[in-house]
Amino acid sequence: MPTKMIAVKDLTPGMIIGEPVLSASGKVLLGQYISITPKITALLAMWDINYVYIKVEDGIEPAAIQTIDNQPSDPSPLDLSDECQKFFNEYDNIVTTAAQSFEFIRGQKQVPVQELKDTSFSIYSTVLANGSAALDYLLVSDYTIADKVSRHSVMVAFISSIIGRQLKLSVDEIHILILAGLLHDVGKFIVANDNNSNGPQAHVINGAKLLRTVPGLPREVVVSALQHHEYMDGSGFPLGLTSEKIYLFARIIAIANIFHHQTYDEEFSNPFPALDYLSKDMFGKLDPAICQPFIRQVRDSLINSPVLLNDGRVVQVVFFNPSHDYSPVVKTQCGTVIDLGTSKNIHIKRVVAPEYLANAN
């Protein structure tokens, strides 16, 4: 079906977007086949999008398409972005596969190395295929499949892979880093049955003990599991190591671990408190050479993203004030600009997931 460029101000409910709507940086804001609603029109205006391509039939005005094609007024989340949906499908499969490997570890106290290496390869391939958009998708992910530890381990592996590419590690190094991310909390699958080990250090020690016995497992994976709670200032555990005594992969995983814990709760993704946490610990507990560029990348991914405020408004992230790593300047649907760094009673509740936009009226 052909398309026609229509001014946003002339859009009417029921029109169907004919081509993906992109931001100035090339980020997909809305996919094709989205049905125009008042909410979608307001979001397009908020994003400073002046024109979009609308599906038309020869000789028929765009507004008549809904009647002829019998298109639903509320689009499916799958229509928002084919690329995004493909990513989430791959992510779903990866978490499910990883959960099966972790369940094997829980029951057999053995590590299925080849299966986890295959999972690591899938994570790397997914990140490589999506480039910088991989982080965009992870920031709105609110999947709750599998158990918490499995999901956390996969997310840490994904984030570690993104950091590893940012640091220009070799492909082989990134594969090992991803495997280390997957297995950093492996001790949690066995600590519950070990009555001789208690406290927060138990999963680190037990995990390293188990991994040390696995034939063919890279040494870096064992060291990372042991050291991922070590901090640059010596305040970590179990050895109280400092600075360069902490292995590089462990320093990367420490940041990915903190970011995931601070970003995702039971229902929503909100990376802004995580940015605050990382910024405060960047020159103490964490390696600034790793942390600072990662913070920048997260902030770049959040530009133009819709977020939900605590007062119920959906706004767009416009930019970050240099003095506030975690509180951006946002723009409302009516064009009002708000600096959240100076607005005491207004804060971000969550990043708006694609499903929220797709079903908005």
Q: What is the pLDDT of residues 7-36, one digit of tens each?
A: 888 888 888 888 888 776 666 677 777 778
% helix, strand, coil for the chain, step of 5: 50, 15, 35
pLDDT confidence of residue 246: 98
pLDDT of residue 289 exceeding 70, the answer is yes
Q: Under CATH, which architecture does the 3-75 domain have?
A: Alpha-Beta Complex (3.90)
SS3 state of residue 16: strand
Residue-wise over 31-68: b if at least 16 C-beta within 10 A, else e? bbbbbbbebbbbbbbbbebeebbbbbeeeeebbebbee
Query: What value does the mean pLDDT take over residues 325-336?
Result: 87
Domain extents for the chain?
A: 3-75, 82-300, 303-358
pLDDT confidence of residue 56: 82
pLDDT confidence of residue 108: 92
Band (65; pLDDT cuts 50, 70, 90): very low
Q: Which CATH superfamily is domain 82-300 in?
A: Hypothetical protein af1432 (1.10.3210.10)
**331 or 76, greater pLDDT:** 331
pLDDT of residue 137 exceeding 60, the answer is yes
SS3 state of residue 331: strand
Query: What value does the mean pLDDT take over residues 218-237?
Result: 97
Threshold 0.85, pTM exceeds: no
Token match 């003095």: residue? 323
Question: What's the mean pLDDT when you consider all of the chain?
Answer: 84
- Hey, do 3-75 and 82-300 end up sharing a CATH topology, with the first three levels equal? no
